[in-house]
Amino acid sequence: MTRAAVVGAAGYAGAELTRLLLGHPSFELACVTSGQDEGRPVRELYPALAMCDLVYSPHDTSVVVASRAEIAFLAVPHTAAMALAPALLDAGMTVIDASADFRLRDPELFTAWYGTPHTAPGLIDEAVYGLPELWRVALPGTRLVACPGCYPTATLLAAAPAVRADFVISGRVIVDAISGVSGAGRTPGPVTHFVNATESVAAYKVGSHRHTPEIVQGLADLGLQTPSVVFTPHLAPLDRGLLSTVYLEVEPGLLPEEAYTAYADAYASEPFVTVCQPGVQPATAHVRGSNRAHIGVALDQSSGTLVVTCAIDNLVKGTAGQAVQCANIVLGYDETAGLDMPVPVV
Ligand SMILES: NC(=O)c1ccc[n+]([C@@H]2O[C@H](COP(=O)([O-])OP(=O)(O)OC[C@H]3O[C@@H](n4cnc5c(N)ncnc54)[C@H](OP(=O)(O)O)[C@@H]3O)[C@@H](O)[C@H]2O)c1
């Protein structure tokens, strides 16, 4: 068993990590932290976690180290993770970070998009971007994993097979994506207030969402020449779930069955990715609570556009599940350990 800590465990991503680690065969949850809920039992804040007998400890790296955890999952806001990671790494722990702090390889790009200098730039180079289906090989044995954002996860999984198969003839990629309200975290605000969020769908941060440079970086890593991304996120009245629709200009003459085969082949051996049958579209309800990604592939021949949709649960494949999947690979456990559970079908 590996002793694990979740820092930021009272937030939505942290609570989901708590849920997954409690059911994991190879992790023992040793420490969960919260500032505003310090001293409170987990089961009191989250009655669904009634099987958990832990109490929230303060956000303090010395407390995390004292718990003798060997691995720390950071489910904290950007800037908080880069403040915590150095001490945890110095103590010999493996760090799996769900925040944006170590995703962008260019610290100046981080400053430009996040409005603050990077305080641990020396760690950026060693951080491994944790999207196993696309870059699994770099993960085993690493000590710092930068888990992708939820929108980049779905978007890059949707784009990758077409880019790698060289079907795509333009770097201009359009991404329309929809997320449930839990993507905004636990603290309610005017936009996420039930009365304002329900029965309504709206775009937000058009042309300015911070996941844009991460998607561009990922597309370039996949081999797309000079990617230019138009990314429009939308908030939908769902508690969880994310659907990304990616529009790729493809070579004339590409046949629908060629496009479909590229996707089916690329993901044939992936335990968490399902490519829907031709004509079938994925839905967020089909992946709810799971670490799965469902992908739909359609070729709009009249415009020469491959339209790929990818549905994930933002709190699982989009955050906590992917973090556990990465940790499994880093530590040499079965990649699906603790993640291959049946989920509700209605
Ligand atoms: N929600 C998603 O769907 C999603 C998807 C992908 C990635 N992420 C990323 O995961 C991280 C957590 O997101 P979330 O949605 O769970 O947010 P959240 O619900 O707002 O929770 C944030 C947690 O971070 C803790 N925290 C805040 N400031 C801190 C600090 N300075 N030091 C240590 N801990 C601090 C909070 O502690 P208290 O208990 O004291 O409030 C809380 O437990 C973020 O970086 C987010 O971008 C989230």
pLDDT for res 344: 85
Ligand 1 midpoint to CA 63 (Å): 18
Same domain, 162 and 301: yes
Same domain, 67 and 202: no
In a domain, 75, yes or no: yes
The ligand 1 site (C-beta within 6 Å) comprises 7-8, 10-14, 34-37, 59, 75-78, 80, 98-99, 149-150, 182-183, 185-187, 314-315, 318-319
In a domain, 131, yes or no: no
In a domain, 136, yes or no: no
Same domain, 162 and 310: yes
Q: How far is CA 180 from the centre of its chain?
A: 14
Question: Each residue's pLDDT tens digit in the chain (346 positions)?
Answer: 999 999 999 999 999 999 999 999 999 999 999 999 999 999 999 999 999 999 999 999 999 999 999 999 999 999 999 999 999 999 999 999 999 999 999 999 999 999 999 999 999 999 999 999 999 999 999 999 999 999 999 999 999 999 999 999 999 999 999 999 999 999 999 999 999 999 999 999 999 999 999 999 999 999 999 999 999 999 999 999 999 999 999 999 999 999 999 999 999 999 999 999 999 999 999 999 999 999 999 999 999 999 999 999 999 999 999 999 999 999 999 999 999 988 888 8
In a domain, 341, yes or no: no
Q: Is 98 exposed, middle or buried (0-12, 13-18, 19+ CB in 10 A)?
A: buried
Q: What is the reported pTM?
A: 0.98
Ligand 1 midpoint to CA 193 (Å): 18
Q: How far is CA 285 from the centre of its chain?
A: 17
Both tokens of 157, joined, read 């999984």
Pick from 19, 59, 64 the residue to mutate for probing ligand 1's pocket: most ligand atoms within 8 Å of its CB.
59
Task: List the CATH number of the domain containing 93.
Answer: 3.40.50.720
User: Is 4 in a helix, a strand, or coil?
Assistant: strand
Same domain, 184 and 279: yes
The two beta strands, 94-97 and 144-146, are parallel
Please say whether the beta carbons of 236 and 201 come within 8 A. yes
Same domain, 56 and 112: yes
In a domain, 339, yes or no: no
In a domain, 194, yes or no: yes
pLDDT for res 4: 98
Same domain, 31 and 157: no
Cα(195)–Cα(330) distance, rounded to whole angstroms?
42
**Residue range(s) defining the domain that contains residue 285:** 151-314
How many of the other CB atoms lie within 10 Å of CB of 263?
A: 23
SS (H, E, C) 40-109: CEHHHHCHHHCCCCCECECCCHHHHHHCCCCEEEECCCCCHHHHHHHHHHHCCCEEEECCCCCCCCCHHH
Same domain, 258 and 304: yes
Cα(159)–Cα(2) distance, rounded to whole angstroms?
35
Same domain, 157 and 295: yes
Angle at 141 between CA 138 and CA 147, to 5 degrees: 55
In a domain, 56, yes or no: yes
Positions marked catalytic: 150
Same domain, 215 and 297: yes
| Number of domains observed in the structure of the chain | 2
Task: List the CATH number of the domain containing 218.
Answer: 3.30.360.10
Same domain, 26 and 108: yes
Ligand 1 midpoint to CA 312 (Å): 19
